[in-house]
């Protein structure tokens, strides 16, 4: 039987790693010539591709990591935490998570960078592999699905409400707050990985 409280906590943790605030920024940086319908399809495609990637790692990530590449799960924790901490620091310091290349087509941007690495990024993949090593597959898959759907909903809503954030100059503050939170999660992942690696 599923523990719904634990499931909710896991889904929220994945959602924080996916970082919807950074996606809101990207959505509001998309070229204005694209209609809302096209942007909606862009968001759905990016979310679907990211979902497939994360499900693959949830099911086969441990097998690929430990059996194929023979990488310790705690080494992945440390590496993923480091990447997350760097991303968080960049957002905290410069007020940006990622810059959009306007020379690429909307459909190319849906795959790279939106689906990966922005939604299915190194830290999210790491967390999912770690979660899969200690939880049943249905638990992890449901948590991933909930996080992806929540992120998609937030991105859809930002298509209509993003102008409010710009009007009140809240985007920069939100990015820096999320940057601090993301950086803290990354540092915590590194500390946990180091402790478990050395058996502390």
pLDDT in tens, 65-114: 877 888 888 888 898 889 888 888 988 888 776 666 666 777 888 888 78
10 CA to centre of own chain = 13
Supply the pLDDT for residue 143.
97
Residues 8-20 have pLDDT tens digits of 999 999 998 898 8
pTM above 0.75, yes or no: yes
Among 58, 26, 31, 57, residue whose Cα is nearest residue 43 = 26
Supply the pLDDT for residue 55.
96
- Beta-carbon count within 10 A of 95 CB: 15
């Amino acid at each position: 039987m599923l523990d719904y409280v634990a499931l909710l906590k896991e889904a929220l943790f994945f959602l924080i790693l996916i970082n919807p605030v950074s996606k809101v920024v990207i959505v509001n940086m998309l070229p204005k010539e694209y209609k809302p319908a096209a942007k909606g399809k862009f968001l759905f495609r990016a979310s679907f591709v990211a979902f497939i990637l994360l499900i693959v790692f949830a099911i086969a990530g441990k097998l690929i990591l430990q059996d194929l590449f023979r990488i310790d799960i705690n080494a992945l924790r440390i590496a993923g935490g480091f990447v997350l901490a760097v991303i968080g620091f960049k957002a905290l310091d410069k007020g940006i998570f990622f810059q959009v290349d306007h020379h690429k087509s909307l459909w190319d941007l849906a795959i790279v960078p939106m689906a990966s690495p922005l939604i299915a990024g190194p830290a999210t993949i790491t967390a999912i592999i770690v979660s899969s090593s200690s939880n049943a597959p249905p638990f992890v898959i449901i948590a991933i699905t909930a996080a992806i759907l929540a992120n998609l909903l937030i991105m859809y809503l930002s298509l209509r409400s993003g102008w409010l954030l710009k009007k009140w100059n809240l985007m920069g503050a939100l990015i820096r707050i999320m940057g601090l939170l993301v950086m803290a999660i990354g540092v915590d992942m590194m500390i946990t990985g180091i402790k478990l690696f050395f058996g502390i």
